[in-house]
Structure 1
Amino acid sequence: MNERPGHARLDGDTPTMRLLALLEVIAAKDQLVTLQGLVEETGLPKPTVHRMLQQLEAAGMLQRDSDGRQYGTGARLRRLAENLLLNDTLHGARHTVLRQLVEEIGESCNLTALSGSEVLYLDRVETAAPLRFYLHPGSRVPVHCSASGKLFLAQMTPTQRRRLLAHAPLMQYTPRTLVEIDALEAEIEHVSHVGYAFDNEEFLPGLFCIAMLVPSPTGRSNMGIAIQAPIMRMTEHNALDSLPALRRAVDALAAIEAENAGLPAPA
């Protein structure tokens, strides 16, 4: 298959490998793609790209937007990505960092990632305290009323946030849930400035959470650490006492991710 010079190259000796290469091009984008856009980017003939898109859509790896002309990642591809995050070989090293953080601060801790318009719990270590909230790995929480979700939103441009939140209505889970865009944007601006985020009974009554992102050596992060506790043990005031331990855990995870990628750890 010949691509014109100056275009994205779809490497692969077989049709299957070229399909995977096209999928990589699409998955690397933060917006929907069109047939014509991919033709221009790859330099491939329009009928060829159309056939490849049909094959990926039929396999559940891509899905068309409501207008039928734009393509985004499909449910099967998202499940594949989530399963890799949940079950990869780094799990043991990450889990050790999480367990050490729980031992130090005495509260439940989660490892989180953004999945679509929700926050996915990749891993969790529970506190030994008798009063706790049970949220197992694989649980999902809304992006707009979770501490990790606010951090993931803060990395996006306003346009990217609007696009994401347009498909994820701001549901009111508790009286404290931020459901007005202006109020949420103000909160996100504050989160961007301080580098951590709170969930102060915004998703579940009686639950407080503080979170930080794990810096990525390759750019935007898709991993966070969140500490959760009942409000009788953690409030906005004393949550800040856990920041030094949280930062140490974040740095430890950043070093693990960088080592796995063969890159220097983020400064």
Structure 2
Amino acid sequence: MDGPAAGASVRTLERGLAVLAALAARRTATLTVLARDVNLSASTVSRLLDTLVHQGFAEGGEGGTYRVGPRAAQVGSAYDAHDALLAAAGPVMRLLVDDLNESANLAALRGGGAVYVAQVEGRQLVRMFTQLGAAAPLHASGVGKALLAWRDDPAVTALLGTDPFPAFTPHSLTTLDTYRAELAHVRAQGYALDDQERELGVRCVAAPIRDAAGAVVAALSVSAPTSRLTGDEVPRFVVRVTQAAQDISRALGWTAPG
């Protein structure tokens, strides 16, 4: 959609957001007060409020008053959670990179993919670089495995879609059965390993990050060339990455069982 119709839609969105912001500032308000706050006619604000109420972003109270609805609270809490995650992860990731001298990444499940939301680069001349906002394939990445391993089978199937999955290398897992078996292994050991499944010559160790309720909300990973992250080095990386993930989880309010 473009032209006048698109412009009208944008103006309607801007006005709707202005009404929602005014309502949030006052906590409760009448139609008349909101119309005055946003400098719009009462009839226009009434239509906008009807839409906001229908979508759950506002609620109509007694006596003709309105208040912010649960959908708006959900949006706000999602931002708070993301902000808290980055604040908790940053210092831990820097310490992890200082220790291992390899790049550390933070990924979260966004829109059906494992999206990188933070990175601290290592100091090696040849180092792994990930574009923030880029998505890693769920079936062929350490962060993808760590994000999915503690979800139930229907959720995993819905996120992965129909197999066979793309084979990036000869090591890629391409069937749902083999991937489910891998996730069971990840749950049992508490971490995930991408052993050249996305790119030949690259290994990745990843671990889950949990919130206060124990739900996996992100994954922490360290990637390096196989020449540095050798098979003998994997156990050392596993200890440090899982410990760092637990430190971030505790900062988010998680308490380890037992």
Q: Tell me if both proteins adopt one fold, taking TM over 0.5 as the criterion.
A: yes
**Residue identity matched to 1:156:** R
**Structure 1 residue 91: Cα displacement:** 3.0
**Structure 1 residue 205: Cα displacement:** 2.2
- Report the counterpart of residue 94 of structure 2 in structure 1: 99
**Structure 1 residue 234: Cα displacement:** 0.7
Q: Distance in 2 between matches of 1:231 and 1:146?
A: 15
User: Structure 1: any 5+ residue segments left out of the alignment?
Assistant: 1-14, 18-50, 60-78, 259-263
2:138 aligned with 1:148, yes or no? no
- Report the counterpart of residue 161 of structure 2 in structure 1: 166
Structure 2 counterpart of 1:187, from 158, 182, 193: 182
User: Structure 2: any 5+ residue segments left out of the alignment?
Assistant: 1-18, 22-49, 58-74
- Report the counterpart of residue 234 of structure 1 in structure 2: 229
Q: Distance in 2 between matches of 1:155 and 1:208?
A: 22
Structure 1 counterpart of 2:195, from 196, 200, 213: 200
Structure (1 or 2) with the larger CA radius of gyration: 2
Q: Distance in 2 between matches of 1:127 and 1:150?
A: 23
Structure 2 counterpart of 1:254, from 226, 244, 249: 249
| SS across alignment from 2:179 | helix
Q: Percent identity?
A: 27
**Structure 1 residue 243: Cα displacement:** 2.3
Which structure is higher in helix share? 2
**Structure 1 residue 167: Cα displacement:** 6.4
Q: Distance in 2 between matches of 1:97 and 1:189?
A: 27
2:252 aligned with 1:266, yes or no? no
**Structure 1 residue 240: Cα displacement:** 1.2
| SS across alignment from 1:130 | coil
Q: Is the 8 A contact 1:215 1:266 kept in 2?
A: no
| Shift in alpha-carbon separation, 1:82–1:131, aligned structure 2, 3 A | farther
| SS across alignment from 1:190 | helix
Structure 1 counterpart of 2:124, from 129, 142, 156: 129
| Shift in alpha-carbon separation, 1:158–1:223, aligned structure 2, 3 A | same
> Would you identify which runs of 4 or more consecutive aligned residues in structure 1 move more than 4 Å?
51-56, 79-86
Per the normalisation by structure 2, the TM-score is: 0.65
CA deviation map 1:89-132 (0-9, x unaligned): 55344211101000011111111111233111111011100111
| SS across alignment from 1:244 | helix
Per the normalisation by structure 1, the TM-score is: 0.63
| SS across alignment from 2:107 | strand
**Residue identity matched to 1:201:** Q
**Residue identity matched to 2:116:** Y
| Shift in alpha-carbon separation, 1:171–1:52, aligned structure 2, 3 A | farther
What is the alpha-carbon root mean square deviation over aligned residues? Answer: 3.3
2:152 aligned with 1:157, yes or no? yes
**Residue identity matched to 2:217:** N
